[in-house]
Chain A
Amino acid sequence: MADPIMLESSEPMNKEITRHELSFVRRYLFSTDHKVIAKQYLTLSLFWAVIGAATAYLIRWQIAHPDTEAFGWGYIEPQVYNSLVTMHGTIMVFFVAMPLLLSVFGNFLIPLMIGAKDMAFPKLNALSFWIFLLSSLVLFVSFFVPGGAAAAGWTGYPPLSAKNEYTGGSYGMDLWLLSLALEFASFLLGGINFLTTTMNMRAPGLTWFRLPVIVWMQLTAAVIFMLSVGPLVAGAILLLMDRNLGTTFYLADGGGDPLLWQHLFWFFGHPEVYVLLLPGVGIILEVIAVFARKPVFAFRPIIYATIVAGFLSFIVWAHHQYISGMDPRLAMPFSITTIIISVPFALIIFSIIATLWGSNMSLKSPMLFALGTLGVFIFGGLTGIFNGSAPVDIYIHDTYFVVAHFHYTLFSNVFFGGFAGIYFWFPKMFGRMMNETLGKIHFWLTFLFFNGVFIPMHLVGLRGMMRRIANPMQYEFLKPIEPLNMFITMMAILLILSQLVFVINFFWSLMRGQVAEDNPWQSNTLEWTTSSPPPHENFDTTPAVYRWPYDYSLPDAPADWLPQNNSDPSANAAER
């Protein structure tokens, strides 16, 4: 592998002096600047979040007021309902969570945090965005093709997804598979870039254990994704062949097995949970350290735990399949691995709580969202223990208890964690501060209505309400939950509406927000040592790193923060 120092010194030394203004198109559309690409991903993922919220609204309307005309849409046909359920999951997981947590924050932060000018492969980076855009287009178009969007659930289980006559979707299903395959290609390119960049382009003095924890989390997520996605892409191609070429990989009457897909899907699908989780945990660790003015507690153990959890995430997948028809004797081994994987995450969570102890905490909006992530995620982690227990899963599998559980884990990471990251890095991204009052209002409304939606949803699930049914009133035993479902829907609509506060704050701050200093939060990591927003190629001179990122409140230090490029020998940096 080429020597990074050589690569950098082989470029003209006076490059930033000859930096010239690029046209709007070159600068914002066909840019290879990692910061612009991050903003492109941000725009697209927020667009998808709006569509995802709209699908959520329609689903909730139908459940609370079955077979009435939804306000602003009309009557929701059963087939359309299945499409909405399918697309809600697909959009939120693959087109909001992944681009937001991985592509936006990974792209924006990794080069800045390691003191690099850009990604190792800027053009590959741009290509990965354009493939993602193409994949987005394919998915978007699938809403409008004959037969509608895919309707086999976001897990796309065959045989429902394998034959048009089963009504899991026709052209929509093919486009769904195509768009996922494209998206995975895009994220593979992104992951390669993250890894190569971090391995080769770290600033002098930036050893592996001086990397901020979010970079570790992004890298681990990229590796998990790269190693798990292959089987699913292969599986998706087999499914496309079953659909279009007459093969029978998943069709029992031709000698295939529907369970094959479930194994391929969850072999990817469970590691994917950690692909989404880790960057969110990284965000809140960075934010909490800064606003608590404390080092991340157990920094190295957290990194080791992250890597261990990454490995373990490959051997827990069948806990999604306890009652799928696989051999019941497999349930216990997978229960045990599922329990083992709780250990590294317990370590991470307890370490975050320990970081709060003895702190000097200010509750600005990024911190509120970070603490919200922590509080909500713990709830979701605890309800996961019910799902992980095979006998309890017999009853709660495929009920709203599971839906409530994974919204507690995913919504906390993607939205609470994502908002924490946006409020925190907005000044660096756009050079202006977000409005603090609106931020606080946004947090409290989101927190209130989120719990208003999903705490009652656990109860609905415990009553036995199945996932993906359009009308619970068709069942005698579900009659008592009607008022609860109406309440959930009301809360969900309020939750969606309260995001308008964020939208207003975002655009208002973009135009009129207070101009940001270089380091408004007095943070240690390298991205805050350059201007807000950073220039093309980020740093005027490559920063040199002298310490780890978490020297907050170091005894005898001149201030309660010491940036990583601070070489002051009087501030004892120990072995870091």
Chain B
Amino acid sequence: MQSWFPENVSTYGGDVDSIFWFIFYIVTIWFFITEGLILYFIFRYRRKPGRSAVYATGDTWSQLAWVLAPIAIVVVLDVLIDMRGADVWAKVKGQRPPAEIVVRGVGKQFNWEFVYPGPDGKFGSEDDLATDNELHVPVGKVIHVLLSSKDVIHSFFLPHFRLKQDAVPGRQIPVWFEATRTGEFEIPCAELCGFGHSGMNGKVLVHSPEDFQKWINEKWPTQ
């Protein structure tokens, strides 16, 4: 079923997916145990003349153990899920590796605007370049996107990168990713943002290092 997910093209997407599958196997087993027991009991204990039910109240520890033992297993599994999850969470959202390229991503009804600092590396200077709905990045580099919003809350969603982060007015929220292959991938908005929410969609264009250099030369020709 992994092939049902959008193809993963980020360095950490595999970690997110692996937690998904880890949980998937655990809950699938629980699903069959619990629903199987219910179905078995329904068939096994259907009403028959002359049968009487067992008067079991669960007041003694020995009876209650039937409920407490599986709960203990639930707790152990929960802790496992959380511990493995904490590592992945820290990798995606916690410490970001040092940026090789920094871009501003600004949500506005109903576009993503991306701002490149230009050769001087500073935002707000004359050589800044703003693009609408197009995020050009090189493959294999750590990209930081500083997310903000001009109007309402938008959500920066890169399904192929397993990355999502709300862009909130009044805040600048950094996210990072590193692409593992070249290509074009969509950037839908995942938070209801008005009548144009559906169709608010940008594109991340992952270039080979050479192509990215070409794009830079084209945009800042004096270099």
- The interface of chain A, by Cβ under 8 A from chain B, is 77-79, 81-82, 85, 151-153, 157, 159-160, 166-168, 251-253, 256-259, 292-295, 297-301, 323-325, 328-329, 331-332, 335-336, 339, 342-343, 346-347, 349-351, 353-354, 356-363, 371, 374-375, 378-379, 382-383, 385-386, 389-392, 394-395, 397-399, 459, 462-464, 466-471, 474-477, 550, 552-555, 560
Contacts and interface: CB of A to CB of B under 8 A. Distances in A.
B82 A78 contact: no
Interface stretch (B43-51, B120-128, B133-141, B215-223): B43-51
Given A160-B194, A385-B81, A363 B52 contact: no
B195 A378 contact: no
A298 B64 contact: yes
B98 interface: no
Contact of B55 (A299, A361, A385, A555): A555
Interface string B166-186: 111111010000000000011
Contacts of A298: 57-59, 63-64, 67
Contacts of A471: 198-199
A258 B53 contact: no
Contacts of B115: none
Contacts of B93: 323, 328, 331, 390, 394
B195 A82 contact: yes
B37 interface: yes
Given A82-B195, A339-B79, A385 B23 contact: yes
A353 B51 contact: no
A166 B151 contact: yes
Given A346-B74, A349-B34, A389-B19, A463 B166 contact: no
Nearest to B73: A346
Contacts of A167: 109, 194-195
Chain B contact surface mostly: mixed
B163 interface: yes
Nearest to A397: B164
Contact of B173 (A258, A300, A325, A385): A325
A399 B45 contact: no
B99 to A, nearest CB: 17
B127 to A, nearest CB: 27
A93 to B, nearest CB: 16
Contacts of B64: 298, 301
Interface in B181-223: 185-186, 188-199, 201
A351 B58 contact: yes
29 contacts: A78-B196, A78-B197, A81-B198, A157-B192, A159-B152, A167-B194, A251-B169, A252-B170, A253-B169, A292-B45, A294-B53, A295-B56, A298-B63, A339-B79, A343-B71, A346-B74, A350-B66, A350-B67, A353-B37, A354-B66, A360-B45, A385-B23, A391-B85, A394-B93, A464-B159, A469-B188, A469-B197, A477-B6, A554-B55
B165 to A, nearest CB: 5
Interface residues of B, number: 87
A82 B170 CA distance: 25
A351 B67 contact: yes
Contacts of B165: 323, 325
Contacts of A363: 42, 46
Interface string B68-80: 1011001100110
A398 B58 contact: no
CB-based closest 4 A-B pairs? A252-B170, A358-B54, A298-B58, A464-B159
A356 B170 contact: no
A361 B45 CA distance: 6
Given A354-B67, A560-B52, A397 B31 contact: no
A394 B15 CA distance: 12
Nearest to B193: A160
Contacts of A349: 34
B41 A328 contact: no
Contacts of A166: 109, 151-152, 194
Contacts of B198: 78, 81, 468-471, 474
Given A357-B56, A361-B45, A474-B199, A336 B163 contact: no
B151 A371 contact: no
B192 A252 contact: no
A352 to B, nearest CB: 9
Given A157-B153, A299-B58, 15 more contacts: A78-B195, A167-B195, A253-B169, A297-B67, A335-B82, A339-B75, A371-B42, A382-B30, A383-B27, A385-B27, A389-B85, A391-B15, A395-B159, A552-B55, A553-B53
